[in-house]
Amino acid sequence: MKRSTLLYCSLFAGIVLGVGACKKSFLNVNPEGQVFESNYYQTPDEAFSGLVAAYNPLAWTVVSSYAPKMVLLTLASDEAYAGGGSSSDNPGFQAWNTYTLNSGTPNVPPDLWQRNFTGIFRVNTMLSKINGVPGLTTDLQTRYTAEMYFLRAYYYFDLVREFGNVPLITKVLPQSDFYNQVQAKPADVYAQIEKDLNAAIPGLPATVNIATEGGRVTKGAAQALLGKVIIYENNNGRMQDAANALEQVNTSPNYHLLPNYADIFNPGNKFNAESIFEIVHTNQSGKTWSNWPNFDGNVGSDGRATFL
């Protein structure tokens, strides 16, 4: 009996130890259809989808509620009044109209803030991933990187004009830095915008295939934005820099004024020679009011969700 007892006990101990040995992988379970960031950006297609996501906030017109940038900017101009059913209709719009925006104004300021910082996060994410995408050609890598720099400049240009002092974030924040960002001076933000645009220009194509890539960033778009940014910096000593940048666009064979002014407004005439950078809206997304607030396109031109 003693011998067999020992035998069984060793067998038993063996089993127990065996279980212990395989436990590391035992805790790593199948994600069942969830895609992890850590496993993503592994193919050229995945990199492209990341690029698309970085463009996506450009088209946002609804964030928590209506916050279409063009409508708001127009309301602050002489071209339009907020209108609506009464002075309490869409108070965010009314406040833009009457220059009474403050921290209590509903939705509009945080919405604009969120739209641009969302874009910046997606740009920073792409920039952190783009160098390690297997199979992505050097050309595409260069072009994507340049587009990201452009988009970051574009989003920061909006932020610095809308808010003045904003946190300047040029990489994906680690957990430890979520709560300790400080506001940068506008001059620093502008410096970063120029830096990004200058970094973008060499890597961008002069033209794109309008049918498949219309709306993607071109060299001309970056040069034009750089010129505009310098002008907004309002530094008389640098106006020549702005002129130099804009000159490149003016002298480019890819851009000229359309002979017929009305053609600019013809829906069939998208991405024409007069258009340097377009934010593209679509009615193909199939989104309806039930998708609120995620229209992905323009709530004003989505076909189904008409507004204004």
Residues numbered 110-169 forming contacts with another protein, rule: CB under 8 A: 110, 113-114, 117-122, 124-125, 166-167, 169
Nearest approach, Cβ of residue 206 and another protein (Å) = 17
- Give the closest residue to 95 by CA, choosing from 75, 112, 78, 77: 75
Handedness of CA 80, 83, 88, 91 (dihedral sign): negative
Residues numbered 236-275 forming contacts with another protein, rule: CB under 8 A: 271
**Is residue 33 involved in binding another protein (CB under 8 A)?**
yes
Question: In which element (H, E) is residue 184 found?
Answer: strand 183-184
Backbone angles phi, psi at 206, to 5 degrees: -70, -40
Residue 166, strand partner residues: 184
Residues numbered 192-231 forming contacts with another protein, rule: CB under 8 A: 209-216
Nearest approach, Cβ of residue 14 and another protein (Å) = 11
Residue pair 56/285 in contact by the 8 Å Cβ criterion: no
Residues numbered 43-82 forming contacts with another protein, rule: CB under 8 A: 46, 48-56, 58-59
**Is residue 35 involved in binding another protein (CB under 8 A)?**
yes
**Is residue 36 involved in binding another protein (CB under 8 A)?**
yes
Nearest approach, Cβ of residue 133 and another protein (Å) = 13
**Is residue 6 involved in binding another protein (CB under 8 A)?**
yes
Nearest approach, Cβ of residue 73 and another protein (Å) = 21
**Is residue 297 involved in binding another protein (CB under 8 A)?**
yes
Backbone angles phi, psi at 93, to 5 degrees: -65, -40
- Give the closest residue to 148 by CA, choosing from 163, 133, 135: 133
Task: Report d(CA 67, CA 108) in Å as an integer.
Answer: 6
Nearest approach, Cβ of residue 203 and another protein (Å) = 18
